[in-house]
Structure 1
Amino acid sequence: MAMDAGEIERMICEGIPGAKVTITDLRGDGDHYAALVVSEAFEGLPRVRQHQMVYEALKGKMGDDLHALALQTSVPKD
């Protein structure tokens, strides 16, 4: 069962409070998404840990309900 963009955004925002999340459906099939996640919580963390935080927020949905996620993370720019 595919996830919709709103559900992905909601889960990430719940798992990383204050994050700004932009989700794009890459193929229009509800199965291949790109996510841009900007959060102060990423400050000082290596990119790998930032991505782990997003995957943790998705609570095991990655690879099951969510087939593919092209992920970009960053801290807010002043």
Structure 2
Amino acid sequence: MAMTAGDIETMIKAAIPDAQVTIRDLAGDGDHYAAEVVSESFRGKTRVQQHQMVYDALSGNMGDALHALALQTSAPKQDAG
């Protein structure tokens, strides 16, 4: 069974409460999404570590209920002031 964008966002926010999550359905089929996740908890972590945090949040749904997820992660931009 496919996941909705809302399901993905809810799971990410449950595991990473401060995350700002933007989900786009890339193909209109409920199987291919792009996610942008911004969280302070990513600061100081490698991109691989950041992505692993998001995949962990999806509780094993990658490759099953969720076929493809194009993922962008980052820490919030810091003010220059």
Asked whether the two chains share a fold, i.e. TM above 0.5, the reply is yes
C-alpha deviations, 1:16-39, integer Å up to 9, x for none?
A: 111000000001110000000000
Structure 2 gaps, min length 5: none
Q: Identical aligned pairs, as a percentage?
A: 72
Could you list the structure 1 runs, at least 4 aligned residues long, displaced by more than 3 angstroms after superposition.
Answer: none
Give the equivalent residue in structure 2 for 1:35: 35
Give the equivalent residue in structure 1 for 2:3: 3
Aligned pairs, number: 78
Structure 1 gaps, min length 5: none
RMSD: 0.5
Structure 2 CA distance, aligned partners of 1:27 and 1:52? Answer: 24
Per the normalisation by structure 1, the TM-score is: 0.98
Structure 2 CA distance, aligned partners of 1:17 and 1:23? Answer: 16
- Tell me the amino acid that sits aligned with residue 29 of structure 2: D
Structure 2 CA distance, aligned partners of 1:14 and 1:77? Answer: 22
Give the equivalent residue in structure 2 for 1:55: 55
Structure 1 CA distance, aligned partners of 2:15 and 2:58? Answer: 8
TM-superposed CA distance for 1:10, in Å, is 0.2
Per the normalisation by structure 2, the TM-score is: 0.95
